[in-house]
Structure 1
Amino acid sequence: MRNIILGTRASKLALAQVEEIKRALEKLDPDLEVILKRIKTRGDILKDWMPGRGLEEKGLFVKEIEDALLDCKIDLAVHSMKDVPVELPPGLAIAAITKRVDPRDVLISRDGLLLDELPRNARIGTSSPRRKLQLVFYQEHLQIVPLRGNLDTRLRKLREKEIDAIVVAAAGLVRLGWQNRITQYLPYQIMLPAGGQGALGIEIRQADEDIKRILQPLNHDDSRIAITAERCFLRGMGGGCQMPVAVFGQVQEGEVTLKAVIVASNRERILSEEMKGSSRNPEELGMELANKVRTMGFKKDSSSFVFENPRLSGRVYLVGAGPGDPGLISLKGIECISKADVIIYDRLVNKRLLGYVKDKCKLVYMGKLPGESLSQAQINEMMVREARKGKTVVRLKGGDPFLFGRGGEEVEFLAQNNIGFEIVPGISSALAAPMYAGIPVTYRKFSSCLTIVTGHEDPSKERPVVNWANLARQEGTLVILMGLANLSQIVKKLISAGKSKNTPCAVISWGTTPNQKVVEGLLGEMVEKAKGARPPGVIVIGEVVGLRGKLNWFEKKPLFGKRVLITRPVVQAKSLVGLLEERGSEVVEFPTIEISSLSNYRKLDLAIEKLADYDWIIFSSPNGVDHFWKRMNVAGKDARILSKSKIGAIGPKTAANLRHMGIIADFLPDEYSSEGIIEGIEKLGIKGKRILLPRADIAPSFLPEGLRKLGARVEEVAAYRTELSSGGNSAIIRDSLRKGKIDIIIFTSSSTVNNFIKLVGDIDLAGARVACIGPITAREAEKSGMKPDIIPEEHTMEGLVEEIINVLSNPTTRKA
């Protein structure tokens, strides 16, 4: 028979609680005997103590018991979790939290009256600031009478008519079997409970693994998760059970809902806030909700909270943009970019990420090259300055903000200036660049450890932190960031310290981008081999480099290393950009067309009013569908008005847009050339039919002319405008073309050809291949003096990209 000693207070409720745990433990292990040891706490001795009267309140009912634990006089202690301080003494831990009993507060009234039935100026007994302020906020006229003592004492004072009602925790009455005395269970909307209320916590010495193992079956996961979130919230607010703060968590299907109520001591304001988060991270949820409440103006003041109108202040998000490939940023990073008022970004941030910004977002380029970059102090000051204007600021940094990125210095400055901030991690080039080069940084046969170091320490350091001699002796993979400028010194230090000059080594420049270049060889020859390598660069040293020959994948993509210029409008370019980048090309966007609304919709609106008169409505572009539907919405109409007309779609993307609107096209041509479209329509028997063509204000004439030749009555109506774009980077495009830095130019309509010539001029394309989506566009290119090299048989974006790959993979057509 093994004995363990359980420490407890001597009140009826405390004894009922420990008896519950004693029975459970002895049932789990019949050879176990639990011996109770009664301990008086300071809260039991100070009969006249009231919250907020200057005495230390922390641990009032647990300190002496915890001292007995630390002195090994007892083996464990049972507390109501609401009484346990949020910070435990060193060496102690909560080993188990039992299943929560009803966490609500209850009203016990002398005459059986509900809270709303109590007379004006009714006297309600409670010494809890949390209960007091919530009660008074609910009904101003109530008189709150300080009331201490155990449940027996409180109920006696109620019977002796000193007070009209008392408010206590339901859980205590349930454990004592006194539920019949409850007049009313107070709903959470009136009285949110204290953090931890309703659950028992079992405290032990942290190092006592044996007791921890014995208690494990008593731990209730959902209760533990909810109360962990509650206690982290209390810790974040600087409060405990004697503070006027209520917090309650509920777990359901892997999600925690955490609600908090705080009342300012002057009753000026009550704040009720709710937040949800994953049950895997209850600590994070609690701290996040506390941070939100603090930023709304609630501050701890002695034993209460006061509300101060917060100064206008925004928030700064430090976001890792990843290593270069724009697809490697996190979803949260994109979310931050899309809501930012100000974005402060570095040189190595892929500019494609700036495409997620909202209108009127201020973009600030900070650079990171000698001569162009602002000082770190200027960057810090700008973040604080913009945040104090109430702005949402994103500090967008290449790679991960905290890996050799000075992110720690930046958030330290924000913290010193009381600016709220969040960190969004990014994928570091230390991992991503080797992956894209086909080099696994760990591999069971060769390397089970990884070391990442900087090759560019702060020159002002008196002593270098990187110990190259130690690194030379280590097994595994060594990855060095920002080391290209010091490559010769690094190689020399490693070899002189004993690293074999025959160790495989790779230098990766511009990793994860279409400009990626990899130089591989042996450590001893790398300085000579990598002379042409340019930053940003990652140096990888170790046997894993030898796997690149088998695992290289990125550089084998069919369009890897090709720079492709696309001329589509920005709103339409996304799918084409995705297709090209997926196949490894670097995309240069040069929109020659801007899509805009009409200045006058009178003709389109008239056509929409008489849609029932048309036999066919034929859409020739996704833009036509979108703008046509917008005007239908303005007119208060929906797809039902099209029931008498047949619908045609020129192109699968147009058909897809119609499907999104709930319409399946009756006609979709098999071939997207002008001849193929007209031939397909001719089979429909359209002679004498009325046909509506909602399209761009400037559009090719072949379709309406062809329809009229077939005997149709055609009405063209502009649904949107196509305008010449501003061509802000025309000079850069001209220079790139002259220098042969563009491999392929893609035209997807006649307008893109004409506008390209207007913006760039008649210049030598220096061998760049011209790709046109179809014969109509190709003829326009020929008229402009260009020779189309690529025209797909399938006139779609997918067909165009595949034809580009086919032509480039044929050695007889490869450009010189």
Structure 2
Amino acid sequence: MNSQAADAAPIRLGTRRSHLAMTQSTWVAEQLRAHGHAVEIVEITTEGDVNRASLAQMGGTGVFAAAIRRALLDGEVDMAVHSLKDLPVAPEPGLVIAGIPVREDPRDTLIARDGLTLGELPAGAVVGTGSPRRAAQLQALGLGFEIRDIRGNIDTRMGYVTSGELDGVILARAGLARVERTDAISETIDPLQMLPAPGQGALGLECREGDARVIAALAELDDADTRAAVTAERAVLGALEAGCAAPVGALAEIVEEPDGSLEISLRAFVGAPDGSFELRRSDVGSYDDPVAVGEALARTLLDDGAGAVIPPRETPNPTTSTKEAGA
């Protein structure tokens, strides 16, 4: 144990009060404690937790992160744990993502009545999701589903299926794994059918850029391969200048070449929520420059017509929301 770290003031970890957020934050706190750091968890209520309007109605970016980021900048907490898929791509002045731990499985899942898979659900089945990305890819499958816009935490969304209100819901496998609910999964969806959100399954550990002590502590949890992959994915989103309603998916994988060098294999999707347009492209590039890999793939997408279905990015607003928050 690092005795100097143990003797220092506890690192105050700010988190939302939701079950998933608390689970993620508690896991990070345990990892930091295992490295000899004292950690205190501080619960923070965000606009996204109290405003029950749909994410599309709230619009904008970062409602789940904004309150915690304000607390960080005001010195009320020392760090935050974000689901990277919920975090705006543009950096927040004064803050830095100092650690990105090993990623959970990034794939999406179906939770359906009677344990049915996507291929087994009948035409006309009602499937719930709050994500334009998921809706676009479901419609592109051409299976004749009715897509219902939903919000809520994991239990609320799963409850739509157990109550019989919906035939199925789409949730991120990572969130279900973290709250130990993978037993409810009917199908883990192949990325060939549904690419996840950029950064899905990964956590971003954020702190003030001048806080050397906390930066050093969070860097101990950083995983280089995960950072490279999610950086490439988020670079696609950034280069597309996509707003919160943009149906954009991306997944990067680290590939070892025969000579032992590493490359990033990156796939991306852009589509229309009604299924009228879909575009899938892929590229391979340098492990050492993930931003360039993502930006190059974004240029290909734009050259092939992606701009026609990408809404303009909103001006960041601390009272507005991000896409796909939660699961």
On whether the aligned pair clears a TM of 0.5, the verdict is yes
2:47 maps to 42
2:255 maps to 1:255: no
1:217 maps to 220
2:301 maps to 1:293: yes
Distance in 2 separating the partners of 1:58 and 1:203: 17
CA displacement at 1:109 relative to structure 2: 0.5
Among 280, 303, 309, the residue aligned to 2:288: 280
Matches within 5 A, 1:181-330: 181-239=184-242, 242-253=245-256, 254-265=262-273, 267-299=275-307, 303=311
Output the amino acid matched with 2:93.
P
1:86·1:240 contact (CA, 8 Å) conserved in 2?
no
Q: Secondary structure at the residue paired with 1:107?
A: strand
Q: Given the superposition, is the C-alpha separation of residues 268 and 120 from structure 1 closer, same or farther in structure 2, using an over 3 Å criterion?
A: closer
2:123·2:143 contact (CA, 8 Å) conserved in 1?
no
Once the two structures are superposed, residues 496-519 of structure 1 have per-residue CA deviations (whole angstroms, 9 ceiling, x without a partner) of: xxxxxxxxxxxxxxxxxxxxxxxx
Distance in 2 separating the partners of 1:302 and 1:138: 20
2:107·2:191 contact (CA, 8 Å) conserved in 1?
yes
2:96 maps to 1:93: yes
2:4 maps to none
Output the amino acid matched with 1:28.
H
Q: What root-mean-square deviation, in Å, do the aligned CA atoms of Structure 1 and Structure 2 show?
A: 1.6
2:35 maps to 28
Q: Secondary structure at the residue paired with 2:11?
A: strand
1:128 maps to 131
Output the amino acid matched with 2:271.
V
1:126·1:148 contact (CA, 8 Å) conserved in 2?
yes
Distance in 2 separating the partners of 1:186 and 1:226: 20
Output the amino acid matched with 2:240.
M
Among 79, 87, 102, the residue aligned to 2:105: 102
Matches within 5 A, 1:365-380: none
Rg larger in structure:
1
Matches within 5 A, 1:159-558: 159-239=162-242, 242-253=245-256, 254-265=262-273, 267-299=275-307, 303=311
1:64 maps to 67
CA displacement at 1:292 relative to structure 2: 1.3
Distance in 1 separating the partners of 2:60 and 2:50: 13
Q: Given the superposition, is the C-alpha separation of residues 116 and 261 from structure 1 closer, same or farther in structure 2, using an over 3 Å criterion?
A: same
Distance in 2 separating the partners of 1:214 and 1:242: 35
Distance in 2 separating the partners of 1:267 and 1:24: 42
Output the amino acid matched with 1:115.
L
1:389 maps to none
* Residue ranges of structure 2 left out of the alignment (5+ in a row): 1-6, 257-261, 314-327
Q: Given the superposition, is the C-alpha separation of residues 303 and 42 from structure 1 closer, same or farther in structure 2, using an over 3 Å criterion?
A: farther
Identity of aligned residues (%): 39
2:125·2:167 contact (CA, 8 Å) conserved in 1?
yes
Q: Secondary structure at the residue paired with 1:149?
A: coil
Matches within 5 A, 1:558-569: none
Distance in 1 separating the partners of 2:199 and 2:106: 8
Output the amino acid matched with 1:24.
Q
Q: Secondary structure at the residue paired with 1:117?
A: coil
Distance in 1 separating the partners of 2:272 and 2:184: 32
CA displacement at 1:267 relative to structure 2: 3.1
Q: Given the superposition, is the C-alpha separation of residues 304 and 155 from structure 1 closer, same or farther in structure 2, using an over 3 Å criterion?
A: farther
Relative to the length of structure 1, the TM-score reads 0.36
CA displacement at 1:40 relative to structure 2: 1.4
1:94·1:203 contact (CA, 8 Å) conserved in 2?
yes
Once the two structures are superposed, residues 265-297 of structure 1 have per-residue CA deviations (whole angstroms, 9 ceiling, x without a partner) of: 553321110000010111111111111111112
* Residue ranges of structure 1 left out of the alignment (5+ in a row): 306-816
2:135·2:274 contact (CA, 8 Å) conserved in 1?
no
Output the amino acid matched with 2:85.
K
With CA pairs under 8 Å and 6+ residues apart, which has the higher RCO, 1 or 2? 2
Q: Given the superposition, is the C-alpha separation of residues 302 and 117 from structure 1 closer, same or farther in structure 2, using an over 3 Å criterion?
A: closer
Once the two structures are superposed, residues 27-47 of structure 1 have per-residue CA deviations (whole angstroms, 9 ceiling, x without a partner) of: 100xx3211111111111221
2:11 maps to 1:4: yes
Once the two structures are superposed, residues 202-254 of structure 1 have per-residue CA deviations (whole angstroms, 9 ceiling, x without a partner) of: 01111111111111120000000001111111000112664200011111221
Output the amino acid matched with 1:251.
I
CA displacement at 1:303 relative to structure 2: 3.9
CA displacement at 1:300 relative to structure 2: 6.0
CA displacement at 1:174 relative to structure 2: 0.5
Distance in 2 separating the partners of 1:144 and 1:266: 9
Q: Given the superposition, is the C-alpha separation of residues 42 and 303 from structure 1 closer, same or farther in structure 2, using an over 3 Å criterion?
A: farther
Output the amino acid matched with 2:284.
K
1:106·1:185 contact (CA, 8 Å) conserved in 2?
yes
CA displacement at 1:140 relative to structure 2: 4.4
Q: Secondary structure at the residue paired with 1:61?
A: helix
2:199·2:233 contact (CA, 8 Å) conserved in 1?
yes
1:146 maps to 149
2:21 maps to 14
1:50·1:146 contact (CA, 8 Å) conserved in 2?
no
Distance in 2 separating the partners of 1:100 and 1:271: 26
Relative to the length of structure 2, the TM-score reads 0.89
Distance in 2 separating the partners of 1:244 and 1:85: 15
CA displacement at 1:302 relative to structure 2: 6.8
1:108·1:167 contact (CA, 8 Å) conserved in 2?
yes
Output the amino acid matched with 1:50.
L
1:109·1:165 contact (CA, 8 Å) conserved in 2?
yes
1:237·1:300 contact (CA, 8 Å) conserved in 2?
no
Distance in 2 separating the partners of 1:205 and 1:149: 30
Output the amino acid matched with 1:270.
E
Q: Secondary structure at the residue paired with 1:116?
A: coil
Distance in 1 separating the partners of 2:167 and 2:92: 40
Q: Secondary structure at the residue paired with 2:10?
A: strand
What is the count of residue pairs matched by the alignment?
A: 301
Distance in 2 separating the partners of 1:116 and 1:232: 33
Q: Secondary structure at the residue paired with 2:115?
A: coil
Distance in 2 separating the partners of 1:242 and 1:83: 12
Distance in 2 separating the partners of 1:80 and 1:36: 17
Q: Secondary structure at the residue paired with 2:200?
A: coil
Output the amino acid matched with 2:50.
I
